[in-house]
Amino acid sequence: MPSKHPTQRLEDILENIGLIKEYTRDASRDSFIKDRKTQDAVERCLARISEAASKLEGAAEALIPDQRWPEIRAIGNIIRH
């Protein structure tokens, strides 16, 4: 659940990264492509990550400067459109 607190937003990002790892742990590229449910779950996690990153605004760059935050934020637009 998104939060107004930067720490909670970062935790949301980490939680969704963990879920993606869990959902894809034993999947090969081919099995992932054939599994629509897993694709949908991963897309939803990516959308949540993008949303949390967007709401962090400049705090994301200040807290963790070595990430590609503009690209992380943009993935939400790609998924939605």
Q: What is the pLDDT of residues 11-39, one digit of tens each?
A: 999 999 999 999 999 999 999 999 999 99
Range of the domain at 19: 6-80
User: What is residue 55's predicted lDDT score, i.e. its pLDDT?
Assistant: 93
Q: 1-4 long-range CB contacts below 8 Å, 24 or more apart?
A: 2/48, 2/51, 2/52, 2/55
Taking only the tens place, the pLDDT of each residue in 30-80 is: 999 999 999 999 999 999 999 999 999 888 898 899 999 999 999 999 998
Asked whether residue 1 is assigned to any structural domain, the reply reads no
Domain count, the chain: 1
The tokens describing 65, both together, are: 């400067």
pTM here is: 0.88
Helices 69-80 & 36-56 angle (0-180, nearest 10): 130
Q: Are 48 and 12 in contact (CB under 8 A)?
A: yes
